[in-house]
Structure 1
Amino acid sequence: MSDQTPDYKDTLNLPKTDFPMRAGLPKREPEWLERWEKIGIYDRLREKNGRDSFVLHDGPPYANGHLHIGHALNKTIKDMIVRSHQMMGYDSRYVPGWDCHGLPIEWKIEEQYRQKGKDKDEVPVVDFRQECRKFAEGWVDIQRDEFKRLGITGNWDDPYLTMAFHAEAVIAAEFQKFLMNGTLYQGSKPVMWSPVEQTALAEAEVEYHDKESFTIWVKFRVVPSRPGPRAGASGAEVPGQARDGVGSDLTGAHVVIWTTTPWTIPSNKGVVYGDSFAYGLYQVTDTPEECWASVGDRFILADKLAGDVMRRARLDDGMWTRVRDVTAEELSGLLLQHPFAGAEGANGEWDDLRDFRAAPFVTDEEGTGFVHCAPSHGMEEYELYRDLNMLDQVITYNVMDDGSFREDLPFFGGRMILKPNGKEGDANAAVIDKLVEVGGLLARGRIKHSYPHSWRSKAPVIYRNTPQWFAAIDVPAGGDDTYGKTIRERALTSIDDLVKFTPQTGRNRLYSMIETRPDWVLSRQRAWGVPLTCFTRKGALPTDEGFLLRDDKVNARIIEAFEAEGADAWYADGAKERFLGNDYDPSDWEQVFDVLDVWFDSGSTHAFVLRDRADGTADGIADVYMEGTDQHRGWFHSSLLQACGTIGRAPYRNVVTHGFTLDEKGNKMSKSLGNTIVPEEVVRQYGADILRLWVAQTDYTADQRIGPEILKGVADSYRRLRNTMRFMLGSLAQFDESQRVAPDDMPELEHWVLHRLAELDHKVRSGYKAFDFQGVFSAIFNFCTVDLSAFYFDIRKDVLYCDGESARAHAARTVLDLLFHRLTTWLAPILPFTTEDVWLSRVSGDDSSVHLQDFPATPADWLDEPLAAKWAMIRRARRVVTAALEIQRADKVIGASLEAAPVVHVRNGDMLGALKTVDFADICITSSISLTADPLPQEAFRLPEVEGVGVVFEKAEGQKCQRCWKILPDVGHHAHAGVCGRCNEALR
């Protein structure tokens, strides 16, 4: 520019905005939180009348520690669901809640006692419960602040707590419905038992980890048979086949069993086989030096497994031979002797003959083809003998609460299956040693296998027969039987007919669990929880009529006390007399002091949150339950069972499931590996919106990965999006309503943007309704970066900066205003802090907020498919031009695209016609452009993916306009020095 040429910079309409390029989220986000609390966003949204209700019911986290990344993922997804539905026109309410009862809190208090040298058993139970309550209250307050810092909206001033007096009263009342409808019963059956925690566990409280276990091959001797009916396990006679002449040469042979739980051998009451398998009699002909078999020993084994068993016994091929077949008929006539029978000091404990029969659960895939039965420690064996009406003959009580053998059990009294710290005890070794001593062991080894562990203590669990309280799921449950008579029928019908699952695989998972699950174990042998508020008649058996006290007046007195005093009222002095009143003699009744499974607590939340609260739902049913995939056996499961027992159907219409969070390499996070990501640290470094954006960018329905490199990528996406918003704000600085242009008066390019907005509006709304946040954000992000930043904004910068107050500039700013209102609201559920920043950069007012807005209605007539098809052709041709110019720029032939005036050869007539109806030079950001149908020259630049378009590079002719930088022939021929005609007009 010469010295005489003016500086036209001040005449340009350059973007102006205070919206910072750097977000500064960690520092600024707390300021917005304070502002939202000050102006009462959540309460003001509740004042919007006439809206349909939409309620996400919160699955309660446990109040006992700081948040982990799974909490952040979970609550952020919930928040996106709640916010998006509110902005789609619903009254979208969210009541956060907490699970407050249960063993983990008890453990914390017991730990504190141990540090102080206190004995829990010497502390009054109410005092102990009060300390548990105080502990939970403290963590509720901490977690509430941590959740709020993530931008989670909700009724934080009035959350629900399972330990609130009303909640405890309702939980007790819900339990009493099972008492009154006949589904509650006391039974003694094998349940998963934690010797470390000394309580029964539900399936949802168990997780599976690899464990190395002992494996043993044990010999049960075939004893001489005698004519007559089959003998039961205790010697009692039950109907069976006579034994005359059946398999007489089998006497003295051994049936071999295989087990991974040697400690169950003292409780063995029988052996079972498969009646469809091929069995044989095998004889030892030679032995190595170290071996528990002897020459002449005979073993009955499944043919498919015999070779493996012999190898385990260190018997090589050639050291044994197969004597003959053993038929199912022969097996049915045999009796077996326990390996400890007749042992010195056994005191006759194992002298009864063992039961021997076919069973459907035997397989020939591993082991020996025979299964040893200890019905007190295995559900399949228990059910087999239950159906045979033989439980009284086969149930043992050899294992105590702490996992030790009863003191008077010969050889093993006091031996521990597990130590108090969860490590291997001495019971297995003691049993193996005794088997060796009595000649009952054929082989032993070790196996690493998946084994159930308590999810709290991480210690292995055992199956143990104990008296527990159950909810029967296959007996009529009374009440509304629209969806079935039993709990199981109602649950399966609900899954099929009433609930939509996201992803759909959740349906199959939950259905298969409900289809095969046993009765629900309701009782726990702990102190901190809601007690089983029932009474049993002294001296009566669980099967006796009148064993359980069922009285509405007694129930009502209990609930009234719980409402006023909480569940501690059950433990107060004189509680039994108070609740029984004058109607019953307290000396005739026992008060039950087991507490309810905490899954019953959380499964009952629909009653005291959805049904009872003013911000609940009219029908007590939630629109959405949303939790991790582990909750198919947890909260989704227990809520379904509980509600089907009390209201006859599922308490939810949608079940949304997320996966687990892994590190960047796909490994499970653990403190020992040092690969954990702590939400608080991410928020401190990047801000909560970056963490939320990570949630939106991931497919939460599967397992997700997170780590430093992934977060850097998320932050980069955020910066690109923020730059788009910043350009939009800067270009809207001079816009006011007087400049608004009606859509019909806009240029085609603006019409195309409106078409894209109409497409996006449908995609955003349908995506949010389907809980597809990844799809929503991907569509918006691609639109912002590809359609806007790299295309529309790039083209319209020239008009916005240089046109002055032209119709084109007004149309572009009008479109920018329409973009502003849609993009900020569409993104608000995902990026609440950033969109508030964007909103307040344009919309003033002390109580203004983007979160008080709805998604703007988008006219259907903005959709224009023919126009979209035309502009798709134009954009394909533009790609060839910009790629051709990029080569010239890289070769330093030009410095900017405005220095070019390419010749574009177009073979397709429709495309050529479309290009001639627009200013293709403006669209390609060149000073001029030539379009021709001439054949593509050899030297023309082509893109393989855009057939029939070639570009021949030419430099623009003329001088550079000192205002818009286009190179045009007319520059210097106007009143204003060094400018083109367009700029001269703008300067006039």
Structure 2
Amino acid sequence: MLNLPKKKYLMKANLNKIINFKNNIYYYLNNKIINIFLLDGPPFANGKIHIGHILNKTIKDSLIKFFYFKKYLFLSNLGWDCHGLPIEQLNFLNNLFFINCRKFVCNVINIQKKDFFSFNYFNNYFIYNTMQPRYESYQYKIFNYLYLNKIIKKEKLPILWCYKCCSSLSYSEILYKKINSYSFYIKIKLLNFFLIIWTTTIWSLINNQAVFFLKNQIYIIFKSKNNKLIFSNFLIYKIIKILKIKGKVCSFINGIFFLNKRYYFFLKSIFLYYNKKNIFLNNNFIEKNIGSGFIHCAPSNGLEDYEIYNKKKNINFFNKRFFIKSIKFFNNINVFYFSKIIFKILKKRKMIFLEKINHNYMFCWRHKKPIFYYLSNQIFIDLNFKFKNINIKKILLKKMKKIIYIPFFIKKILFNMINFRHNWCISRQRYWGVPIILNKNKICYYKNLIKTFGSHIIFYLEKIKKDIFDVWFDSSILFLFFKNKKIIIEGKDQIRGWYQSCIIINFLIYFNINLNIIISHGFCIDSKGEKLSKSSKNFKNLKDILKKYSNEIIKLFLLEHDYTKNIIFNILNFENTNFTYKLIRNFLKFLINNFYKFNFIKIKNLFFDFWIIKKTNNILIIINKLFLNFSFFNIIKIIKLYINFINELYIEYVKYNLYICKINSLIRNSSLFTLYFILIFLKNNLFPILSYSSNELDKFFKNSYKKIKNYNIFFSYFIKIKILLKKDIIFYKNFFLLNKIKKDFFNIFSKKIFIYNFFWNWYNNIYFFYKFKKYHFCFFSKNFKYINKYILNKNICNICYINKFHNLEEIRFYA
């Protein structure tokens, strides 16, 4: 009677049922100590989830599930960033602005929460959002501490400003794009000479207050017709070409000559408003191969200009929308139109010359418009703060070196960003957010009200300006709730945002960084290499993708690729993942459907089965190392190779044992035990990646775990296997010889010869069985040398110890 497989495990997974972890996970957590905490960087609650959210949550979810197997208590949270401009721009009614914003955010959180739970993401700690009253009250407490210790200061500085947002911007809100534009060479008069000054921002000429030069550089006086021009000696040929002039060099001037010299504002004749003389200032940071040796300085529109100029009286003729103010005939003119007017006027007077350049420029990621530096009163965290004459930044950078970075190159990026950062502007000119109060008494007074009603109550009680906290300051407070070991996993765009804010705030409060590992993943991109995002409108809705592919296939697709790089999101890659998914399901189907009427007691493993188990154990060690290195895509590759290896080497051999041999025979039990071991191995290692498929196997193992109620995959571990073999060394020696013979056969026939079984008999002989074409070959271990000798001589006809069999039964009888 044939022992045919029973249909227990279907090819298609039952994805409609969501695994309920909450009821049975607490049994597992009772005897645990908190080891690691995975911090979830809060996404903005401003719309439906997209593929970037799925990538981030999938990596975190796989990591959490793996660490549970390793008996760690790996706590995680789920949170939302609820403040910021995207919500404010929804044009709610002014009277009910805060109520409408709050309703909108709560609705979005509920939608996103359902979407996340539909993907079966595991969260075992708490859910939070940054607009919770208790969270906001704790934020004020942290702010008050930093303000009293003089780490937070209010200062007037040029900051990055978007004229569309009408607010200051953080570094994370900036995009750099290569653009084709012009640099400008302008003639200004000094005594009887004309100096050639250089700039790339013609619109900022109206705010000119100085000219930079190098005091150690040699300048030339170039005579062209009746004019004497002064510019750098290093750039003589370049400037002659741009200005299209002819003449000769008259003499040379040392840069010291210009020190403390003054000149009249060169737009004085055009705009009759500025009679003061401006000054020449030495700037050692001027590059000798760029410009003309003289650089225009507008302290109101450049941070470096402001630091070198170092004067209190800075003129600024632009308002928050970057329109001209306080100038007759030019009031309320846009900065772009104004730059065209200046260019036309200077061109008529032959005072300006152009050069085409290609360079990186800053754009607002939200509006895709260019941004400028704007002189404004803002609130900053001073990163050059000294505590007891100790530079805090140096200690911070030392602490950062102890963190593990994946991939490694982000260490240098993050390190340099914080090293060259002087301050952090934490104020934004918006309404929807936590309002800033620079008064200790008022913070204490409103403390209980904020805990009850939230921070927006302050807008009703106080006449405060349109100033709120930066959203990265809001979300960085989460870091302070937990002092134990932490891991953070976010997209590479957070290197400029959340990563920095968390590290800075955590260090300033605890004087330490309670962070172990930083993992950064790439973006999902289209076939053109552009990031899939809502703003660029090149992203398909998740519901459309889920109609064709299940959420388990989407998760497998994301983990199958190297997440440290950008992942190309197209149909071809999805089809490859679908093939991988079917390969895994089909293999599991074969294993589980053949697994019945099996006795665990007193199992003796045959050598070939034992070798498969040993091989599986070796692969298990490699997979554990890869999990600890967070290399999920390599794990999937190894599992695929392992399944193909078992299919080719073992499955054909084991089919006879399962279907033909008696139910309680040694051969069948040995094969079933090996299949059982493979099944447990795959179930446990696939669970962090394919939770549905792996959890479906649990009902077939309930009888083995009767003591545990509400059995779940979390409670299943690898069984300790005792192989009843005494002569492993002899076995391996013979097996290596077997492989050598296999290679020799391969060289002769140029065909694949399949080894499918070998047995140990009473007289210490090993019977090896080969399959070639339709024939099966059998020989003894004692005849290795004799067989090898003839095979190497290619005299196959003289091999008398090899017998041909036409079916497997003859081999069994012979053996």
Fold conserved between structures, TM > 0.5? yes
Query: Could you tell me which residue of structure 2 aligns to residue 977 of structure 1?
Result: none
Equivalent-residue separation in structure 1 for 2:362 and 2:135 (angstroms): 32
Q: Give yes or no for the alignment of 1:352 onto 2:276.
A: yes
Aligned with residue 713 of structure 1, among 563, 572, 576: 576
Retained in 2: the 8 A contact 1:882–1:924? no
Q: Give yes or no for the alignment of 1:434 onto 2:345.
A: yes
Equivalent-residue separation in structure 2 for 1:952 and 1:632 (angstroms): 69
**1:60 alignment partner AA:** P
Match of 1:567, SS state, is coil
**1:299 alignment partner AA:** L
Retained in 1: the 8 A contact 2:435–2:456? no
Query: Could you tell me which residue of structure 1 aligns to residue 37 of structure 2?
Result: 55
- Aligned sequence identity (%): 21
Aligned with residue 161 of structure 1, among 129, 147, 151: 129
Aligned with residue 517 of structure 1, among 421, 428, 450: 421
Distance 1:171 1:671, change over 3 A: closer
Equivalence map 1:282-431=2 (5 Å):
282-284=222-224, 295-315=225-245, 319-332=246-259, 334-341=261-268, 343=269, 346-349=271-274, 351-386=275-310, 391-393=311-313, 395-406=314-325, 408-410=326-328, 412-417=330-335, 425-431=336-342
Equivalent-residue separation in structure 1 for 2:395 and 2:329 (angstroms): 50
**1:966 alignment partner AA:** L
Retained in 2: the 8 A contact 1:361–1:380? no
Q: Give yes or no for the alignment of 1:796 onto 2:654.
A: yes
Query: Over aligned residues, Cα RMSD in angstroms?
Result: 3.5
Aligned with residue 933 of structure 1, among 788, 797, 807: 788
Cα offset, 1:163, TM superposition: 0.8
Distance 1:506 1:671, change over 3 A: closer
Retained in 2: the 8 A contact 1:257–1:369? yes
Retained in 2: the 8 A contact 1:72–1:679? no
Cα offset, 1:953, TM superposition: 14
Query: Could you tell me which residue of structure 1 aligns to residue 102 of structure 2?
Result: 133
Query: Could you tell me which residue of structure 2 aligns to residue 218 of structure 1?
Result: 186
Distance 1:713 1:650, change over 3 A: same
Query: Could you tell me which residue of structure 2 aligns to residue 5 of structure 1?
Result: none
Match of 2:776, SS state, is coil
Retained in 2: the 8 A contact 1:471–1:521? yes
Equivalent-residue separation in structure 1 for 2:698 and 2:772 (angstroms): 30
1:255-292 Cα offsets, whole Å, 9 max, x none, are 222222111000011111234444322232xxxxxxxx
1:619-669 Cα offsets, whole Å, 9 max, x none, are 2x4520111112111101011111112222224221111122223454444
Aligned with residue 476 of structure 2, among 595, 600, 603: 603
Equivalent-residue separation in structure 2 for 1:46 and 1:396 (angstroms): 66
1:440-498 Cα offsets, whole Å, 9 max, x none, are 32x125544321112222221111110101111121469xxxxx95552343122113x
Query: Could you tell me which residue of structure 2 aligns to residue 245 of structure 1?
Result: none
Q: Give yes or no for the alignment of 1:192 onto 2:192.
A: no
Distance 1:673 1:93, change over 3 A: closer
| Greater share of residues in strand | 2
Cα offset, 1:385, TM superposition: 2.1
Cα offset, 1:197, TM superposition: 0.5
Query: Could you tell me which residue of structure 2 aligns to residue 852 of structure 1?
Result: 714
**1:429 alignment partner AA:** K
Aligned with residue 683 of structure 1, among 535, 546, 549: 546
Q: Give yes or no for the alignment of 1:171 onto 2:76.
A: no
**2:813 alignment partner AA:** G
Query: Which sections of structure 1, spanning at least 5 residues, go unmatched?
Result: 1-10, 114-119, 224-251, 285-294, 418-424, 479-483, 536-549, 577-590, 612-616, 889-895, 902-914, 942-949, 971-979, 984-988
Query: Could you tell me which residue of structure 2 aligns to residue 3 of structure 1?
Result: none
Retained in 1: the 8 A contact 2:385–2:391? yes
Cα offset, 1:569, TM superposition: 2.0
Cα offset, 1:798, TM superposition: 2.3
Retained in 2: the 8 A contact 1:270–1:356? yes
Equivalence map 1:779-790=2 (5 Å):
779-786=638-645, 788-790=646-648
Cα offset, 1:919, TM superposition: 1.9
Cα offset, 1:527, TM superposition: 0.4
Query: Could you tell me which residue of structure 2 aligns to residue 570 of structure 1?
Result: 458
Equivalent-residue separation in structure 1 for 2:535 and 2:154 (angstroms): 42
Retained in 1: the 8 A contact 2:492–2:521? yes
Equivalent-residue separation in structure 1 for 2:367 and 2:424 (angstroms): 22
**2:677 alignment partner AA:** L
Distance 1:729 1:748, change over 3 A: same
Cα offset, 1:565, TM superposition: 0.8
Equivalent-residue separation in structure 2 for 1:18 and 1:723 (angstroms): 12
Match of 1:392, SS state, is coil
Q: Give yes or no for the alignment of 1:495 onto 2:400.
A: yes
Aligned with residue 19 of structure 1, among 5, 9, 12: 9
Equivalent-residue separation in structure 1 for 2:746 and 2:378 (angstroms): 76
Equivalent-residue separation in structure 2 for 1:755 and 1:95 (angstroms): 39
Cα offset, 1:717, TM superposition: 1.4
Aligned with residue 116 of structure 2, among 144, 147, 155: 147
Equivalent-residue separation in structure 2 for 1:876 and 1:67 (angstroms): 56
Q: Give yes or no for the alignment of 1:771 onto 2:630.
A: yes
Cα offset, 1:137, TM superposition: 1.3
Equivalent-residue separation in structure 2 for 1:765 and 1:940 (angstroms): 48
Query: Could you tell me which residue of structure 2 aligns to residue 272 of structure 1?
Result: 212
Aligned with residue 258 of structure 1, among 198, 210, 217: 198
Distance 1:919 1:303, change over 3 A: same
Cα offset, 1:373, TM superposition: 0.6
Query: Could you tell me which residue of structure 2 aligns to residue 833 of structure 1?
Result: 692
Distance 1:697 1:275, change over 3 A: farther
Q: Give yes or no for the alignment of 1:727 onto 2:590.
A: yes
Match of 1:431, SS state, is helix
Equivalent-residue separation in structure 2 for 1:797 and 1:87 (angstroms): 32
Retained in 2: the 8 A contact 1:471–1:520? yes
Retained in 2: the 8 A contact 1:332–1:356? yes
Match of 2:221, SS state, is strand
Cα offset, 1:877, TM superposition: 4.8
Query: Could you tell me which residue of structure 2 aligns to residue 560 of structure 1?
Result: 448
TM-score, scaled relative to structure 1: 0.75
Match of 1:135, SS state, is helix
Equivalent-residue separation in structure 1 for 2:732 and 2:99 (angstroms): 67
Query: Could you tell me which residue of structure 2 aligns to residue 105 of structure 1?
Result: 87
**2:332 alignment partner AA:** G
Retained in 2: the 8 A contact 1:822–1:856? yes
1:702-724 Cα offsets, whole Å, 9 max, x none, are 22222110111111112112222
Q: Give yes or no for the alignment of 1:919 onto 2:768.
A: yes
- The structure with the larger Rg is 1
Retained in 2: the 8 A contact 1:336–1:353? yes
Distance 1:834 1:41, change over 3 A: farther
Equivalent-residue separation in structure 2 for 1:666 and 1:300 (angstroms): 47
Retained in 1: the 8 A contact 2:775–2:804? no
**2:8 alignment partner AA:** D
Equivalence map 1:977-988=2 (5 Å):
981=813
Cα offset, 1:938, TM superposition: 7.2
Cα offset, 1:570, TM superposition: 1.1
Distance 1:865 1:261, change over 3 A: farther
Count of residue pairs the alignment pairs up: 797
Q: Give yes or no for the alignment of 1:966 onto 2:808.
A: yes
Distance 1:414 1:141, change over 3 A: same
Retained in 2: the 8 A contact 1:195–1:461? yes
Cα offset, 1:862, TM superposition: 12
Retained in 1: the 8 A contact 2:599–2:669? no
Match of 1:159, SS state, is strand
Query: Could you tell me which residue of structure 1 aligns to residue 760 of structure 2?
Result: none
